[in-house]
Structure 1
């Protein structure tokens, strides 16, 4: 294992020499000793292989994952500048580790305690790993299945962000977001959120927040539903209606099930297909296309 530790430090030194931001992550599997005692080393070996593969599926090209000792892993994550970059990746790692596996007819699983140090926290590779290990031990002391930064400011920002995610999920589930649309003429459908503490959060910020929290698809589904309901309300009030534009990213539009959801909402509200126009951001060939054309292109 000392060879792996040497390899890790070599990779970390190279990443630090590049001069960009680097996150060093120490990850410890929770309940590992209990699994080893009760089920034996073969179960632990199978679990380690399963967890390693799950974590690798979360990583980007250029990331490094090394098993240092027993249930201890270390990761090098270069190029993560903003909270929007690192927090979703940490959340994916936690979810990946706790995905259970089948072993000898029973379900076997674990969770992880994760500690993070950023390249600005220490000038040397060993110092960064030590700080990340201290933060991981703190996470384990709080019950595991969580991450902690060595810098308290980062922990506070992460806590605020997670609280915002919970609030946004609740707002989506209970339809607490408001549709903004200019009128029954051609207009763009947008959503806003009147947050009790932050005030009005506009459509662009709302979509960015939802994307970083993994809530973009539920938010887009809500936007589609409310846009169709509004068009039907205009028509039922005797007003003439025109197509409403939905501005989506290509990734949002091509998500499994979204097109079907759009078609169902149009059918429920008895609206023709050309009453929704999909504008794909950053793709001029798909700009301002009726639904049926966007689907077929």
Structure 2
């Protein structure tokens, strides 16, 4: 897959895109002949007057014809040279000028050029004419294209965003249903990205994300889609695959690609990625398909990261349990559900207790006593670990003090 250009705005368009090959006339051409040209070409807005390849003036259709509506005017002035009636100060623009610059020039020089048209040159020589109508049409089309890009692509990497990804996934699922093929959805989260971003700064983090986007794009086919959902989260769609192993092959290719370091401003950065994979038609709902990939990705995170997993139904059960624990964890501290168990530390030589280690447990109202491995990772992930840690320190110190008040000797307390 070829990575889109980072800039979401369309490339500058030049005046050359507006070029109309209007045949010029010589300054000495009689007025009557110019009138006949306008009669023969009813759509011609203006006629350029050119001598020796250089633009000399312009004759505007409406103004010119209105001046010769009366027959006697044609008889009196019909043989005069057109140079006597031309606008000798036309707007002359080089064909390599950008449309934005042309618009600015017209606004400064006079908006009548939008109606009269303008002369287009190349290296100073007459090349053709341009019209205000075509200029407005080109600007409108480019604006609409830019708005579409901004709405459907990630501003940092130029990759499709969630909106475009979902649209493409919907189409791919419909196509796969007709052709009896599979669609793989991969959700990727970068391992240790937050640490790198916090240490080296957001500018370096953004550059790393761009490098990741390029590397992911190099691992897939032209018809596949790599998108950035936000932060350090990316997603990949593999349409029209025949075997489940095809998705595994791409996932392994991505993991192998991430074994190579990223070099940024003298820093050699190694970063892994956790990949969750869900497959259509094993789940035919688009939103649930994305959810399944997310659940599988989280499972990889729980197992240490830098790997890939396919979604299984068992993961959903674990995910629901995790969500339930996360909700209860928010209230556990307020409800006083945490308890400390103390493991004594013996001095074998003296045969006496010299210290104790405080071990936290959660007395869950429905699930009973839970060990730290059930809830500490959740607390670390959601920012609850700091208040829980503060509570554990205070509770352990208070217990140590209570033992001393009860007459026990001072103990070394580990938390």
Normalised by the length of structure 1, the TM-score is: 0.49
The structure with the largest alpha-carbon Rg is: 2
Normalised by the length of structure 2, the TM-score is: 0.35
